[in-house]
Amino acid sequence: MSPSARSCDDLRSPMLFQTTEFALFFVAVLLLSAVLARHRSLRHLLLLVASYVFYMAWNSLYLVLIVFSTLLDYWVGAAIHASQSPRARKMLLAVSLVGNLGVLGIFKYYDFFVGNFEHLLGAVGLTVSAPVLNVILPVGISFYTFQSLSYTLDIYWRRLSPARNLLEFSLFVAFFPQLVAGPIVRAREFLPQLQTTPTVTSDMASSGLYLFLKGMFKKVVFADLLGVMLVDPVFKHPSEYGGLWMLLAILGFKLQIYCDFSGYSDMAIGCGGMLGYRLPVNFRSPYKAASIREYWRRWHITLGSWFRDYVFFPLGGSRGGPLRTYRNLLVTFLLVGLWHGASWTFVIWGGYYGVLLCLERLLAPNVNTSPDAAFVWRRRVPMVLLTLVLTSVATAIFRVADLKQLMAVFDALASPTNWGAGVQGVVVVVFTAAAITHFLPESWKEGAEASFVRLPAFVQAVALVLVLVIVRLAMTQANPFYYFQF
């Protein structure tokens, strides 16, 4: 795990969705919000206070950073909207960019760049000792910073009008279900929902409950067990296991991080739905992708679309010829890598995807990249397998903490397998079940949700209890979500 994981290890996490603490918190918020359903401003105030309490369960001091981003972009957004001077608008936008990215840079990247600058000067014989901050990375800072910043950019490009009041904008920035690990929500998606009285139908509540239970099962039963029983031991001592074990651990991590992160997204979307708000879909079975472009239309959708709209397109997108397109892709994905953390492994990971996308455009410009493309076995299966191989290399790069461990992983892949290290039966069952459920037809998954929604409330309650029992039996401890470190 990368050094930035200290944000999860050094302090306790925010209330984890799979804990009793969060269940009590959410039920209380749900009941109070129902009581205040006809009093929109009071309901917004309740949800904002609940969101701040949720974050303060991790660290009350760092709540100041969320409030700072909120006040900065609320003021800047209103000022940009009111100004007719292009120069003044650009200066105001610069204030937002410097304020948001400055805070993000100090907490997330300062020590990384200072350390590398010292090494660079040392290589040419100069000794410099720059001060390091050694601060704890605030949980979720990359998510809410991008969310708040997109609001200012949309106003600057005249795609959006400012929020009606500070309360609504504050809730948009801090809405607790998706505050610390997404999905990244745009203001134009969420603010209009705050301007009407939410209506939570029984179908919407049932669908939200289904998504929450599905996400919790994916996180605790699939992701955590694969991580503890397979991925962590092999990556910790790769030389003791050898090639086939290393390959199994890489595939296991692909399933682990998907079930962990998409599980969080499912639970966040489910909580939002039960409160009457629709959050964007963040995953669409990414390992079914038949190209790298399609993969990024299925994996962490809200982050990919954010970088597309606010980095790739402003750089020029695919206009200006192939060479400029390749440059824009490389710059965009190097920044995607840095977004994940201050580590050279993340830079390499982002650059690797940038190169793959350039090669794909060069060698297969007409490949169908739509997630809704018709499934033709003869054409699609080989491309899915190739994409799995290419993304598995990226998975290995993403998982390691540094370049030394990355070399150890690749050495292990080329080494004889230690057959004395036997795999536990439960790992085989969990690995197989996670893979099968991922590759099920989307119509089956949608049908399962629709069937749950149609069930009587009593049967839904029984299903709730059953899932909670399974989760409790599988849970050895409440593990933080993997993307809390970003």
Alpha carbon distance 147, 468 (integer Å): 32
> Strand, helix or coil at 1?
coil
> For residue 37, how many other CB atoms are within 10 A of its CB?
14
Amino acid (1-letter code) at residue 359: L
Residue with tokens 């076995």: 377
How does DSSP assign 153-185, residue by residue?
A: HHHHTTS-PPPSSHHHHHHHHH-GGGTTT-PPP
First to last CA, the chain: 12
Element (H, E) at 147: helix 141-156
Helix or strand or coil: residue 126? coil
Residue given tokens 């918190």 in the structure block: 25
For 115-139, b where at least 16 C-beta lie within 10 A, e where not — what string? eeebeeeeeeeeeeeeeeeeebbbb
DSSP conformation class of 224 = I
Among 73, 81, 93, 70, residue whose Cα is nearest residue 161: 81
Tokens 């598995």 — which residue? 392
Which residues are tagged catalytic? Answer: 340
